[in-house]
Amino acid sequence: MSTRSGVVAHRGASAQFPELTLVAFQQALEQGAEALEVDIRLTADGVPVLLHDPRTTRVADRDLWVHSSTLDQLATLDLGSWHPVHRAPEPLLTLRSFLVMAEAFPQVRLFLETKHPVPSGGRVEAALRDELRYFGMDRPASFADSRAVMMSFSVMAVRRFRQLAPEIPAVQLRERRNVLKSWPAEGVGAQLMGPSIGALRARPWLVEYWRSRGMGTYCWTVDDPADLLLCRDLGVDWVGTNVPSRALTVLDGGVPRAEGPAAG
C-alpha cells in the first residue's frame, strides 16, 4: 500500500473543464494526477465512447440516447460549451482515442468504468477487453503492474470482465445504500472495493475490513480537504476527485487554494 492515497482524476479535471473530454484529461495530467477515470458506453454501432449518462442532455447541445445513436451522430455533439467555467466546444472522445492519448503517459493508471444497466448488456465489457488487447494492456505482469483497472457498480459486469480478462484488476463500486453487500475477493473476483465518500464517513471501519479480506479501496468522489485527509488516514489506496491539483496539495500536506464549485 502506498504511503498516501493515489489521486485519480474523476472524469478528468472535471471541476474546471468539461468531463470526459480531451482537455479535461490533459489538464488533469498537467495538475499531476496519478490516474484517470472514465465512463464507458457503447454506441448503436458498437463503439465504446466516453459518456457518463445514458443520454446526452446534461453535457451536450442536443439530446441523444447513447445506445441508439451511431458514432457519427454522437460525434457531431458539442460536449464543452455547457460547462460553467470552460464554455468552449469540445468533441466526443472514443475509448480508443483516449487510450491513444494515454500511451504518452505510461506511468498513469487508467480506471475504466463500464456503465449499467444498458440494452447492450455485456457487450461493453467485451469491447473494453478488445480495446485493451489492441493496446497490449490486457496481460500485465501482475495486478500491481496493470495500467488498466476495470470498474463497475454491476456485480455481474465485474464477474464477466474477470472471466474475459482475468489478469486485469477490477473495482466493485458501491453506493452508500448497498455498501455492506460486499463479498470477499474470491466471491466477487474484484481486487478493490469502491465505496462513496459518504459510505466511508458513515462506516470508516470498512477500509480495514476489506483490507483484512485482501482487498484495496478506491473512494469516490473526494473533493473536500477533510474527506481527503480521512481517506489518507484510513489508508484508502485511491481517491477519485474532480480537482486533482487540490487533492495532491492536501494529501502532500499543503494548504489548498480556493477553487470553484466541483462538478458532480
Amino acid identity at 70: T
Selecting among 52, 67, 83, 86, the annotated active-site residue is: 52
- Rounded Cα distance, 239 and 217, in Å: 8
- Rounded Cα distance, 35 and 40, in Å: 16
What stretch of H or E contains 77?
none
Partnered with residue 185 across adjacent β-strands are none
CB 21 within 8 A of CB 90: yes
Residue 91: asked if its preceding bond is cis (omega within 30°), the reply is no
Which three three-digit cell numbers place residue 247?
Answer: 487533492
Selecting among 10, 67, 83, 116, the annotated active-site residue is: 10
Is 116 assigned a catalytic role? Answer: no
What does the chain come to in residues? 264
Is 10 assigned a catalytic role? Answer: yes
Q: State the Rg of the chain over Cα.
A: 17
Among residues 180, 212, 183, the alpha carbon closest in space to that of 196 is found at 180
CB 190 within 8 A of CB 158: yes
Query: Which residues are the active-site residues?
Result: 10, 52
